[in-house]
Structure 1
Amino acid sequence: MFGLLRPCAHGAQKYGIDTTEWRAHLCGLCLGLRDGHGQLARATTNKDALVLSMLTEAQSGAAPRTTAAPCPLRGMRRASVATADSPGVQLATTASLLLAAAKIRDHVDDGEVAALARGPLAKAATRWAREARAGAARIGLDVEPLVAALDAQVQLEQEVKELVAVGGSSAAAPRAGGFVPELLAVSSHWQSAMAPSADPLDRLTAPTQLCASAFFAHTAVLADRPANVEALREAGWQFGRIAHLADAVADYDGDLSGGSFNPLASTGTTISEAYDLLRQSNSRLRAAIAAAELSRVPTVRWMLLDPLTSVLRRIGNGLGTFAAHTCSVSRDSAGLPHAEVRPHMHRTGHRPPTRRPGLGGSLALILGGYCTGYACCADHTQPCTGERKDAWIKNCDCSNCDCGEFDCSCCNCGDCGCCNCDCSCDC
């Protein structure tokens, strides 16, 4: 099970959401993979794909549930889960299979797996890609452009490696766009990323972004909300860049020491520059979600917007020296937020981001305890009992966070991540 987004249980309480809602989508996806593609397919469970199920429900208003049988990962308890045949779960299943197949092929091509495992893994990847196509056809999603874009990732990386080897310029690089079907030309984002003047890093992240944008946009199609398609396509494009760059930051030191390809190191992008790009994408994603009139939906805030803020905060806290900047909050004549400029401190430089321990949370999940893999578990006592550490309580007063949608002045949240007032700045 892999993915970027891990919603916090305290955030669910803040929004009045049952904390089992995340598990309902997770277990629904897992069971959908099992029922449709066999037990082994459950290994492709992608926590980020849960957002697709959630967005579909948030737009359609429908939340079909069924009672799942006891499972060891739920402490042998039954649970109400999203139905495997619901459109959102089918879309999430397709995304999990397709992205897992691409990830496995990438590892096999890079020689990062043992020789004896390459054949079985390649076979599994081929099967999952085939089943992703079949699943996509059932919900009316054309994944051929996405498959082609993911296949082009290898060529894109090879271009950058050749440029680094010869010390050439990005403008002189061959275009991987020639390896992609003409259908991809309908994406203005893809055209921009493949333009001769495009930044090499933009080309490297484009396949991930294209996939995310297509999946996000299709949630509006499944929910019969055509007016939301373009806004969610933009949100998905920005989410894809966040996911790709956050993974590159997390793997930066390991890739350098192990000799593996890293998009940041290969394009000469510093960690602080990557952090700026992440903040930019997060701001644009929020604007797109607001344009789709989903920014005030509690589950969207809890499962998508707040976890992304936590991702950026963790990366920011992993940067070394400080650099100040300002951001503004606007207020109107009635006293609502207006042009108020306040300084904020953000870290620049580089220090490896701290990885959150997963063992305690996993054991608690298996034993049926309070923790089910939420992002805040690293800030809880270990093993996780749901109680926060004293340091977190000292730095964060969550009782002050019941403020206006765009008013940060009433919050005293520090850097803990459990409060998120969504002010107009993107700090």
Structure 2
Amino acid sequence: MFGIVRPCAHRLGERFKTEWMAHLCGLCLALRGDHGQFARIVTNYDGLLVSVLTEAQAGPLPGARRTAGPCPLRGMRTAPVANGEGARLAAAVSLVLASAKVRDHVADRDGLLARAPIAAAARKVARGWDRAGARTGASLGFDTAVLVDAVDRQGGIEALAGAGTSVLVVTEPTETATAAAFAHTAVLAGRPGNGPALAEAGRYFGRLAHLLDAVEDQGADALAGAWNPLTATGTSLAEARRLCDDALHGIRLALREVEFADAGLAHRLLVHELRTSVDRAFGASSCGHAAHNSAGQGYGQPPQGYAAGGQAGYGQGGPYGGGQANPYAPSGPGTPPPMGPGGPGGGGGGGGFGGLPPQKPRRGLLAGCAVAIGLFCTCQICCTEHEGPWSRQKRDPWCDACECCENCDSCSNCCDCCNCDGCCCDGCGCDC
């Protein structure tokens, strides 16, 4: 997996987590269906944005979801996954961009790719991915030549860039490629009028992707003697942060011009999660959830804050489509929680404020060992939420990069126009 938009499941909430996983699994299965099992290795977090944008504009259509079979990365559970042209376009774009990444590593002679036989094999795989992406793109009316051309120009631009060169000259090919992919989602969704605004959002997203990759790799590149756009052009981190903040603002403004059927997930990823990605790259954020778990929660105890307010959803049409606001969101500070199960005085659950469920009995030593082996063999322990083998309490996957700020005291991560009812991690009521 690679990509700059890596949302935390705790911050997404149940609705958006389910939708995000549907698009991620849909991309993975589209790669397998069109290009074989090995192609699934290029599944990435940013590629699924193409699928998200297509569905956000078209709305729920017949056949847009199908039920996929059990998968280790889903805890051996079935799940609804995205199905259709958006997922296939995401697959084509992912293949071409992954091919570019492989060729870049070959050119830099990274690791084993410094050896000629392995480098030759990698180049052959990359050429195959280019051809496969082109075939799928052509079937959808998308010419991947614009992506390949951007990749081919990148090397020449980097060779000419030096101190005093604007770093935006170096990011231009990535901006052009991403703009083309974002704009074509409007064609697939039957909303061609959205094309220019989505192309603008794509340009800014491509700029962010390139800059954040440069920021995160600058230290390692310096040690390895590898080329880095910030170092080569003499761009300071302060200037890179300014450019990233400008790009975030540009994406937000561009999305306002797009006509969506349901903008909920697209807004969450491209506005809120993208800002979190920028903060992460520049070391300006931390994972309050992980720190809270590691510092104050025992292994066999239920998660604290279990009954905290859930993710506020967006109404039909979301913040851009002019739809209704969330009818279930609290109307303001001091609004009492609803009566009934889980509320104060309500029945059901485990009693008490919020209605914590009763704890499951712990497993014995041998039964827990058997479950632990199963979790390891099916990759659940590192890739999906699971029960602790012995405690039976919910555990986050080992590979989960949770970055939610559970105890944030401001809405600094929200849009400038937000009127939040509380912490933006618990659901921002913005109408941007």
TM-score normalised to the size of structure 2?
0.69
Distance apart, 1:134 and its partner CA: 0.6
Query: What's the CA shift string for 1:169-189, capped at 9, x where partnerless?
Result: 65xxxxxxxxxxxxxxxxxxx
Distance in structure 2 (CA, Å) of the matches to 1:111 and 1:48: 25
* Counterpart pick for 2:15 among 8, 14, 17: 17
| Compared CA separation, residues 407 and 18, structure 1 to 2 (3 A) | closer
Distance apart, 1:264 and its partner CA: 0.4
Aligned partner of 1:314 in structure 2 is 280
* Counterpart pick for 1:26 among 3, 24, 27: 24
Query: What's the CA shift string for 1:292-342, capped at 9, x where partnerless?
Result: 1449721112232211011122234449xxxxxxxxxxxxxxxxxxxxxxx
Aligned partner of 2:68 in structure 1 is 68
Q: Is the 8 A contact 2:97 2:147 kept in 1?
A: no
| Compared CA separation, residues 266 and 311, structure 1 to 2 (3 A) | same
Distance in structure 1 (CA, Å) of the matches to 2:158 and 2:191: 37
Q: Is the 8 A contact 1:10 1:418 kept in 2?
A: no
| Compared CA separation, residues 418 and 372, structure 1 to 2 (3 A) | farther
TM-score normalised to the size of structure 1?
0.70
Q: Is the 8 A contact 1:213 1:232 kept in 2?
A: yes
Query: What's the CA shift string for 1:20-49, capped at 9, x where partnerless?
Result: 211111111111111111111111112101
| Compared CA separation, residues 368 and 135, structure 1 to 2 (3 A) | farther
Query: What's the CA shift string for 1:245-297, capped at 9, x where partnerless?
Result: 01100001011111011000000001111000000001001100011144972
Aligned partner of 2:96 in structure 1 is 98
Aligned partner of 2:187 in structure 1 is 221
Distance in structure 1 (CA, Å) of the matches to 2:415 and 2:261: 14
- SS class of match (1:406): coil
* Mapped pair 1:234 → 2:200: yes
Distance in structure 2 (CA, Å) of the matches to 1:135 and 1:264: 35
* Mapped pair 1:130 → 2:131: yes
Distance in structure 2 (CA, Å) of the matches to 1:204 and 1:55: 26
Q: Is the 8 A contact 1:239 1:285 kept in 2?
A: yes
The AA in structure 2 aligned to 1:41 is A
Query: What's the CA shift string for 1:225-260, capped at 9, x where partnerless?
Result: 011000000000000000100110000101111101
Aligned partner of 2:140 in structure 1 is 139
Distance in structure 2 (CA, Å) of the matches to 1:292 and 1:22: 20
Distance in structure 1 (CA, Å) of the matches to 2:211 and 2:143: 26
Unpaired segments ≥5 residues, structure 2: 286-375, 388-394
Aligned partner of 1:280 in structure 2 is 246
Distance in structure 2 (CA, Å) of the matches to 1:315 and 1:406: 24
| Compared CA separation, residues 296 and 36, structure 1 to 2 (3 A) | closer
The AA in structure 1 aligned to 2:155 is V
- SS class of match (1:251): helix
Bigger Rg over Cα: 2
Aligned partner of 2:57 in structure 1 is 59
- SS class of match (1:70): strand
- SS class of match (2:417): coil
| Compared CA separation, residues 231 and 362, structure 1 to 2 (3 A) | farther
| Compared CA separation, residues 262 and 28, structure 1 to 2 (3 A) | same
Q: Is the 8 A contact 2:20 2:265 kept in 1?
A: no
Distance in structure 1 (CA, Å) of the matches to 2:103 and 2:125: 10
* Counterpart pick for 1:49 among 47, 50, 61: 47
Q: Is the 8 A contact 1:73 1:367 kept in 2?
A: no
* Mapped pair 1:377 → 2:402: yes
Query: What's the CA shift string for 1:154-174, capped at 9, x where partnerless?
Result: 1111112xx45xxxx65xxxx
RMSD: 3.1
Query: What's the CA shift string for 1:124-169, capped at 9, x where partnerless?
Result: 1000001111111000011212211211111111112xx45xxxx6
- Runs of 4+ aligned structure 1 residues displaced above 3 Å come to 293-296, 315-319, 361-364, 366-376, 392-398, 407-413, 417-424
Q: Is the 8 A contact 1:98 1:128 kept in 2?
A: yes
Distance apart, 1:365 and its partner CA: 2.3
Aligned partner of 1:395 in structure 2 is 408
